[in-house]
Amino acid sequence: MSYSIYHDLVIKSDKLSVFKAISEPDHLEKWWPLKCSGIPQVGKEYNFNFTDTYDWYAKVQNCKTLEHIHYKMTKSDADWDSTSFGFDLNEVETGIQVKFWHINWRECNSNFKKSSFCWAMLLNGLKNYLELDIIIPFDNRS
């Protein structure tokens, strides 16, 4: 059995801006990791650096510009290593619907529960970044 995290939100923005924010390192750094590198192409590696201890890597599993990007964790911690996460974008009347998922968690442990909460907070930070140009300082991101 595996466990999954799902969050949906609508961002009042255009698809290009949202896609850049979930796939380009200089935009990802505005709402998620402290430092980031990578190219939004299938098979390319991303580095999501949070601290020296949390210096994680993922590969792009699937990517279609303006539509989606999906990552597979390759080097992180024991709980995250088995997981994949992604963002699927759809235009809706009020903006861009972001369907976020983080799947294949081995157990519903405290790290899973904390990650679900943190993703909700971070995705709200993504929304505020794109809609209001608010960047929450890295140390204040939960």
CATH of the domain at 105: 3.30.530.20
pTM of the entire predicted model? 0.96
Burial class (CB in 10 A: 0-12, 13-18, 19+), 123: buried
Burial class (CB in 10 A: 0-12, 13-18, 19+), 111: middle
Which domain covers residue 70, as residue numbers? 3-140
Per-residue pLDDT tens listing for the chain (142 residues): 899 999 999 999 999 999 999 999 999 999 999 999 999 999 999 999 999 999 999 999 999 999 999 999 999 999 999 999 999 999 999 999 999 999 999 999 999 999 999 999 999 999 999 999 999 999 998 6
Number of domains present in the structure of the chain: 1
